[in-house]
Amino acid sequence: MTSDDLPGWRKVRIINGRYHKEAGGGWEELFDYGGIRYHARLFPTVDGNGIQDQLLLLLAKAYEEEDDDMIDDYADECRHLIWTLIEQDYASRPQEKADLSPSKAVVKIEGRTFNGELQAFSHMGRLDYPTQPIPNTFSGVPTFLYALVRRTKRLDNEIFDMDYEGGHYCLKTVHSKEGGSGLKREITILQHCRHPHIISFQGIVINDRNGVEGILTELIPDTITLDEFDFSRFSKEQCDLWISQYRSAVKYLHSNCLVWGDAKPANILIRPPDNDLVLVDFAGGASEKWVDWKKMNTQDGDMQALDRIEKFLQHRVTHSESNN
């Protein structure tokens, strides 16, 4: 099953969540769906006969037993249960789906049993981002004012195509999956990089208190990642070129005492029209298929990924030649 085949409730990016074990349990989550931010929640009814009640009791029991797997499973079921209400609201807001501005209001929906059906009601609860802007300790780095940022398109979770006084950039916010520590690492590394196969750093986005809200890099239009590339007509010449470009970028990093980190095909862009490789995502980490955890954020980890990505590409050449 591909990500496109997954139901909508399994594809949302969860920003924050909270589960309650008191009084029969309760569930609430803050998530992005289709360009709209939702705060959805379920709480038990007074008489215990609500559609949501049995599920919330199971969630509370899983919490009491500290069973993390079951907590995750029941949280998924809670999201599934309320999803029809989310979809109905989403369909009613055609103009808001493109509104990706920082000040966009959160849509708050609580599912309550009424006349034997789960129905949508507004609520006054609040869940915030688990991350906050980080202090601006980066001397000599170009700054862009958050208030002047205009997001025009969502590219990925907390990554946007954006406009700033007529210039087009890629914005990665502090609320991305690596959070503030990842953003700080990325700025620290990219501000020292000038290489054709490493994403070009443009500066940082700051708020009115000089806190860093995000990072700006060059915008590469119509790009795809290496793991999304159509290898059906992949040649040995293209493979050799990409390996050379990848090696050049990693050698540059290591010669400057820098480490890429979460090295993998999903963090390599293909820049049109020449289909050159560009390394992105310097927030650190490791994906076990490409870098062993014990080598996370080390030059050895980068080299291990290099070897595995080369084998990945060479395998694609062999597969392409056998089908042509």
The 10s digit of each residue's pLDDT in 269-301 is 999 999 999 999 999 988 889 999 899 999 999
Instruction: Provide mean pLDDT across the span 129-146.
Output: 92
Looking at the fold, whether 149 and 104 belong to one and the same domain comes out as no
Nearest to 144, CA basis, from 238, 210, 62: 210
Looking at the fold, whether 206 and 234 belong to one and the same domain comes out as no
Out of 19-33, 241-255, 270-284, least confident range: 19-33
Please report the pLDDT score of residue 10 as a whole number. Answer: 66
Q: Which of 160, 186, 217 is the C-terminal boundary of a domain?
A: 217
Report the alpha-carbon distance of residue 123 to residue 315 in Å, rounded: 53
Q: Which of 217, 243, 261 is the C-terminal boundary of a domain?
A: 217
Please report the pLDDT score of residue 11 as a whole number. Answer: 67
312, part of any domain: yes
Instruction: Provide mean pLDDT across the span 210-236.
Output: 92
Q: Does 94 sit behind a cis peptide bond, omega within 30 degrees of 0 on the bond before it?
A: no
Give the position of tokens 């915008």.
219
128, part of any domain: no
Report the alpha-carbon distance of residue 292 to residue 243 in Å, rounded: 21
316, part of any domain: yes
Helix axes 53-64, 68-91, angle to 10 degrees: 150
83, part of any domain: yes
Nearest to 32, CA basis, from 11, 51, 48: 11
Q: Which of 98-107, 127-136, 191-200 has the highest mean pLDDT?
A: 191-200
Which residues sit opposite 204 in a β-bridge? 143, 215
CB 235 within 8 A of CB 318: no
Looking at the fold, whether 239 and 306 belong to one and the same domain comes out as yes
142, part of any domain: yes
127, part of any domain: no
The number of domains in the chain is 3
Please report the pLDDT score of residue 71 as a whole number. Answer: 86
CB 285 within 8 A of CB 184: no
CB 213 within 8 A of CB 146: yes
Report the alpha-carbon distance of residue 146 to residue 150 in Å, rounded: 9
Looking at the fold, whether 16 and 71 belong to one and the same domain comes out as yes
Instruction: Provide mean pLDDT across the span 8-21.
Output: 76
Please report the pLDDT score of residue 94 as a whole number. Answer: 66
- Residue 77 in 3-state DSSP? helix
Looking at the fold, whether 142 and 211 belong to one and the same domain comes out as yes
Nearest to 271, CA basis, from 301, 241, 308, 306: 241
Nearest to 305, CA basis, from 296, 316, 317: 296
226-237 residue pLDDT tens: 999 999 889 999
pLDDT at residue 117 tops 90 = yes
Residue 320: CA count within 13 A, CB half-sphere: 17
Please report the pLDDT score of residue 153 as a whole number. Answer: 83
110, part of any domain: yes
Looking at the fold, whether 235 and 293 belong to one and the same domain comes out as yes
Give the global pTM.
0.70
Residue % of the chain over a pLDDT of 70: 92
Report the alpha-carbon distance of residue 220 to residue 272 in Å, rounded: 8
pLDDT band at residue 3, thresholds of 50, 70 and 90?
very low
Tokens found for residue 297: 């954020």
Instruction: Provide mean pLDDT across the span 162-166.
Output: 93
Q: Looking at residue 309, which CATH number applies to its domain?
A: 1.10.510.10
Nearest to 218, CA basis, from 155, 129, 174, 284: 155
Nearest to 225, CA basis, from 284, 277, 288: 277
Instruction: Provide mean pLDDT across the span 202-206.
Output: 96
The residue with greater pLDDT, 297 or 128, is 297
CB 193 within 8 A of CB 144: no
Q: Render the burial of 145-174: b for 16+ CB within 10 Å, e for the rest.
A: ebeebebeebbeebbbbbbbeeeebbbbbb
126, part of any domain: no
Looking at the fold, whether 20 and 90 belong to one and the same domain comes out as yes
Please report the pLDDT score of residue 70 as a whole number. Answer: 87
37-90 residue pLDDT tens: 899 999 999 898 999 999 999 998 888 888 878 888 898 999 999 999 999 998
Write out the residue range of the structural domain in which residue 261 sits. 224-322
Which residues sit opposite 224 in a β-bridge? 270
Mean pLDDT of the chain: 88
Looking at the fold, whether 104 and 165 belong to one and the same domain comes out as no
